[in-house]
Structures are given as C-alpha cells and as structure tokens.
Amino acid sequence: MNDAGVVDYIVVGAGSAGCAVASRLSESGKYSVALLEAGGSDWNFWVQMPIGYGKAFFDKKLNWMYETEPEPTLNDRVSYCPRGRVLGGSSSINAMVYIRGHQGDFDDWASMGNAGWGWSVVLPYFRKMETDLAKGGDLRGGNGPVAVSGANGNEHKTCHDFIQAGLEFGLSENGDFNGESLMGVGLYQYTISGGRRMSAARAYLRAARRRSNFRVITNALTQKIIFEGGKAVGVYFQKNGHEHEIKAAKEIILSAGAINTPQLLMLSGVGDEKHLREMNIPVQHDLPGVGQHLQDHLCLDFLYKAKVPTLNNELRPWSGRFLAAVKYALARSGSLALGVNQAGGFLKSAPDLTRPDMQLFFSPLSYTKAPEGERPLMSPDPFPGFLLSIQPTKPKSRGYISLNSRDPEQAPKIFPKYLSHPDDLENLMKGARIIREFSRMPSLAAIIEKELEPGDGVQTDHQLEEDIRNRACSVYHPVGSCRMGPDPRLDVVDNHLKVYGVTGLRVVDASIFPTLTSGNTNAPAIMVGEKAADLILADVERLDAPR
C-alpha cells in the first residue's frame, strides 16, 4: 500500500461536475484538493476536434463503453451507454449541445423537498459558469470558465430549411434556448470555443492545475471509500498496478457520474443491505435508494434521403474530407468545428401543456449502415441524407443499477427499464406522428426524396409501437441514481448533497438529479458542481469560524 498523503478534499471523478467543484474548492488557496480520474489526459485529437466525438464514442482509452442489460420493452435489445473515462468525463466525448433546461425543471426539484434548488437560486450558478459567446440576453453569463458559442456560420444550409419548416409548423424561431424561453426552433449552442471542444477539463482544470494546493491524479481507479466510525476519511485507488491510499481532512466528494457513483458507494458498503450481503460486501450503511430512480432520455430517429446536398456530400468523399480538414486546420472553422446535432427545438405535444414536452434534433448527415462499434460521422452515407429526431423530455420510467462484481473495473448491471411506464410509449408514439407531420411542411418536403427509416410501411399504431421497440435509442443522459430528496428511505443525498447515514461524504454529479431536465444534461451537471462548491465552502467556513 502506497500512502498518497492527506488533503482537505478528495474529489472522485473529473467529469462535468467534478472539474467544477474541485476547481472552485481550490480557488481561494485555503484548501488543498486532490482530483482523482480513472482515465487519462484529454489531449487527444478526437476529443479536441468537435466532430471527433464520433471516434471518441467507441474508444476504450476515453470511454467506459458500458452496455445495459437486455431490455424486454425494447425487444430484448442491449443499449449502449457511453461514459467518459478521461479528464472532462462525458463532457469530453459528448455531442456538445448546451441546454440549461426549462426553468420549471428546477422549481420541480425544489417542490420535491429540495430547498435551495429552484430556478431563481440556480440561475446565478448558470450565469457564473459560462461565457456566452453567442451573446444572448440578461440571463446569460459573461465571464465564466465555460465558453458557449453559436454555430458561427458553420451550420449546414439545410438547417435553415428545418427552421423554416418549424415556422410553417406553427413554432417560433428561438435564437437562444438558454434565454427566456425554451419553446421554438433554431440553431443549437455548443460547448465549443475557437473551434475546439470546451470540456469541463478545458474550462476548469487549465487554471486550477497551476495552483500549488491542487492535484490531479489520472489513471487512478478509485476502489473503495475508507470509513472510520461512520465517517468517510479517505479512498483506496489503483494506479499503475499499485494500490494507494489518500486521506481527506475535511470531506470526500463523489463525482463519478450516474453509473460509477452508485457503483462506488455500493462497493464501499453504502447501499441496499440485501444486495450488499448478496455480493458479500460488509454493510457500512443500509441506504436502499443507492442505484435506484435511474432515468434517461429515449429518442426516435427518422432517416431521410434528400434531394439536395447534405453533409454526406461533403464528408463522404476523400476530397471533401481533405478540404474540410484544411479549413479546420487553417481557421478552426467549417463542418469539423461543429457537432452534427446542429438545429432543433422544443415544442408541446398538446396545446393545454404549460411547458414543452418534446425536444427536436436536426442532423444534416446520416449513417445508415454504421459498422458495429462505430459512429462514422466523418464517413457518412454515400447519398445525401439527414436525420430528424424527437425525444420526450420528461420520461416517467425508472430503472436501477446494481453490482455485477466486487471488482471496480467490472461494469455494473444497468437496467434502464425504458418504456416501463405506459405514458412513455404513448409519448414516443406522439413524437413519431409529430415528426411525420413536421416532415410534410413545405420547406422540408421540398428537400426530401424518401423516408428511409422507418419508411412508408410503418403507419398504424401497432406498426409505430413495434418500430419504437425495435429502433428507439438512448440519448445518453442517465441521471437520478443517487437522487437528492428529503427521505433517507428513498433518497441518497439531502439538499446539501450530503449522503444520508454517514458523514464526510457528498455526491456532486448528475446522479443527484431528482428528475431529468428538459434537454441535454451537461450544462445542469456543471451547475451542480458550481453550486455544490458554495454549499461545501459555506459549511466549512461556518465550522472553522471562531466561537
């Protein structure tokens, strides 16, 4: 056993929330912080170049590459569950779309018994964390570490056909989905700056690593939390084949994400007592909510062959890829400087709803026959094509995570239980009908040659349902598996993110979300890290104050 010393705070996981909380805790210079990451450096070409996430998506050096258990509701299909294993975590391999969520999402959190998490309280943290290069309104931030940009003219021109179709559909154009309203259609904003991915590592760690009180330990797989008398005092981690121990004078913060955080808690003896005993793990504290309440967005893609050129025409031929690469190398611009979910929006599936319940994605690119284990964003279909996708924003199905082994290197069992609530199937069927209606709008109909998937043969309710069970897929937004809430019998952390039943331990990542936010989850995960740092610092300064 190697002694890695003592610091004030240990943060496990250098992902979206982990980078934020670790950096902020070290900012004053008063407290020492060690940030442990199971993966390695984010200085990887496929990480830094925005469209390169198609490669990082299936790279074991950057990605845990988890899979779910077979899902009966999806005709026993196994779903892919990518999670970043690299500095920046999943913010280093995601599609970079930046969406805060609906204001009501956070008021919902507060109404569920989580005081201090309503919209008016979390908004200052969203503003604090971002520099809005897209220049939105007063709700946006101006000098934060996370640079958020618009498409900057790099979007494909078919995106504007999509937006025009949205206007014909009865929606308004929205120039800032992170502004006053989420409703409407428009171009998405991204965690991209200067043509490079703005991961949480780039945003927070570049400055933090220059501080003498801040340590980043990469390729460090945390194995177990060390408890003494019910207090978390350190962790064991493995690096280069050797086991190390590091102690925390104040607190340990778990920021390993919605899959790995509950796994680590269970490996450390915090979880459902029955399951822990089945795994022959000594019980530190019986906390049944660990691993429960797992939520994820499920979407449906419609694939169209186009009458006009799309990104396929640019990125399929070698000559097009070469020209795109030259443009990117010289000016950090063009198609390689952007993701492929370039436009989209939010709408209501029924007029009496008080907020949007569906999210749209428009990708001016298609890859019909992707080889197993590949997402060929730079080698798309040989014909012009595009994807139009829809996801219900508030699924009601709840899954869970359990251990498969006592070995932290072995993947846990993931049971999303997609469509286990009947409303979720009905909402996806509504979504399919919306896509069909949207595609008939004149501006889109004018550029569509044929619907390839699901195709004209899928029309009846029964056919739509079977298509959903055969093709609906995750949007890779797992949250909720260490849910924040007021009931220790059901929840895992309180509204200060402290783990129930033990001391010296908090969870700070998307696993604490009481419910999914409306849209992509990276931005709210970073916000959780920002707010958590203030909660932690307020607590320690109160304890350290003279009496």
Nearest Cα to Cα of residue 114 among 527, 513, 533, 536: 513
In a domain, 247, yes or no: yes
Tell whether the model's pLDDT for residue 375 goes beyond 70.
Answer: no
- Token readout for 492 is 């895992």
Backbone angles phi, psi at 346, to 5 degrees: -135, 140
In DSSP terms, 236 is beta-bridged to: 224, 245
The predicted-structure confidence for 243-266, as pLDDT tens digits, reads as follows 999 999 999 999 999 999 999 999
pLDDT at 57: 87
Residues 6+ apart with CB under 8 A from 204: 19, 20, 22, 23, 24, 145
pLDDT higher at 262 or 134? 262
In a domain, 314, yes or no: yes
Domain shared by 533 and 543, yes or no: yes
Please say if 496 is a catalytic residue. no
Of 471, 497, 514, at which residue does a domain stop? 471
- What DSSP assignment string belongs to 341-394? --EEEEE-SSTT-SS--EEEEEES---TTPPTT---TTS--SS-EEEEEEEESS
Q: Is the pTM above the cut of 0.85? A: yes
How far, in Å, CA of 407 to CA of 297, rounded?
29
**In total, how many domains does the chain have?**
2
Tell whether the model's pLDDT for residue 428 goes beyond 50.
Answer: yes
How far, in Å, CA of 130 to CA of 191, rounded?
10
User: Of 244, 293, 297, 477, which one is the catalytic site residue?
Assistant: 477
By residue range, what is the domain housing residue 243? 1-149+197-296+396-412+476-547
How far, in Å, CA of 290 to CA of 499, rounded?
10
The predicted-structure confidence for 136-161, as pLDDT tens digits, reads as follows 888 999 899 999 999 999 999 999 99
In a domain, 431, yes or no: yes
CATH value at residue 351: 3.30.410.40
DSSP 60: T
Helical residues (DSSP H) of 170-292, grouped into ranges: 200, 206-208, 257-267, 273-278
How far, in Å, CA of 247 to CA of 32, rounded?
12
Domain shared by 179 and 115, yes or no: no
In a domain, 386, yes or no: yes
How far, in Å, CA of 483 to CA of 99, rounded?
21
Cβ burial of 97 (10 Å; 0-12, 13-18, 19+) is buried
CB 333 within 8 A of CB 327: yes
As a dihedral over the C-alpha atoms of residue 13, residue 534, residue 510, residue 209, rounded to 10 degrees, the angle is -30
pLDDT at 377: 65
Domain shared by 17 and 139, yes or no: yes
Q: pLDDT exceeding 70 applies to what percent of the chain? A: 97
Residues 6+ apart with CB under 8 A from 340: 51, 95, 311, 363, 364, 365, 377
Q: pLDDT exceeding 90 applies to what percent of the chain? A: 92
pLDDT at 543: 74
In a domain, 212, yes or no: yes
Of 437, 452, 471, at which residue does a domain stop? 471
Domain shared by 181 and 261, yes or no: no
pLDDT band with cut points at 50, 70 and 90 for residue 373: low
In a domain, 192, yes or no: no
Q: Average pLDDT, stretch 417-421?
A: 98
Domain shared by 112 and 84, yes or no: yes
Tell whether the model's pLDDT for residue 174 goes beyond 80.
Answer: yes
Nearest Cα to Cα of residue 328 among 194, 157, 201, 149: 194
H or E element: which one contains 538? helix 522-544
Q: Average pLDDT, stretch 45-59?
A: 91
- 291 Ramachandran zone, left/alpha/beta (phi>0; psi -120 to 50): left
In a domain, 11, yes or no: yes
In a domain, 28, yes or no: yes
Tell whether the model's pLDDT for residue 350 goes beyond 90.
Answer: yes
pLDDT at 374: 54
Backbone angles phi, psi at 125, to 5 degrees: -75, -40
Give the pairing of strands 184-187 and 80-81: unpaired
Q: Which residue has 């005081």 as its token pair?
A: 115
The predicted-structure confidence for 203-212, as pLDDT tens digits, reads as follows 999 999 999 9
Q: Which residue has 């280093």 as its token pair?
A: 92
CATH value at residue 240: 3.50.50.60
Nearest Cα to Cα of residue 36 among 10, 63, 3, 2: 10
Domain shared by 485 and 465, yes or no: no
Helices (runs of H) and strands (runs of E) counted in the chain = 16, 24
Domain shared by 341 and 481, yes or no: no
pLDDT at 545: 65
Nearest Cα to Cα of residue 85 among 132, 127, 139, 47: 47
Tell whether the model's pLDDT for residue 370 goes beyond 60.
Answer: no
Tell whether the model's pLDDT for residue 498 goes beyond 80.
Answer: yes
pLDDT at 371: 47
- Token readout for 329 is 């190398």
Domain shared by 26 and 53, yes or no: yes
Residues 6+ apart with CB under 8 A from 52: 45, 46, 336
Residue type, 181: S
pLDDT at 389: 97
In DSSP terms, 353 is beta-bridged to: none
Domain shared by 401 and 384, yes or no: no
Which three-class secondary structure string do you get for 474-525? ECCCCECCCCECCCCCCCCECCCCEECCCECEEECCHHHCCCCCCCCCHHHH
Tell whether the model's pLDDT for residue 168 goes beyond 90.
Answer: yes
Report, in angstroms and rounded to the nearest whole number, the Rg of the chain calculated over CA atoms.
23
Domain shared by 331 and 438, yes or no: yes
The pLDDT mean for the chain works out to 95
Distance from the Cα of residue 449 to its chain's centroid: 34
The predicted-structure confidence for 260-313, as pLDDT tens digits, reads as follows 999 999 999 999 999 999 999 999 999 999 999 999 999 999 999 999 999 999
- Indicate the SS3 state at residue 415: strand
Q: Average pLDDT, stretch 191-216?
A: 97
Domain shared by 236 and 379, yes or no: no
Domain shared by 44 and 167, yes or no: no
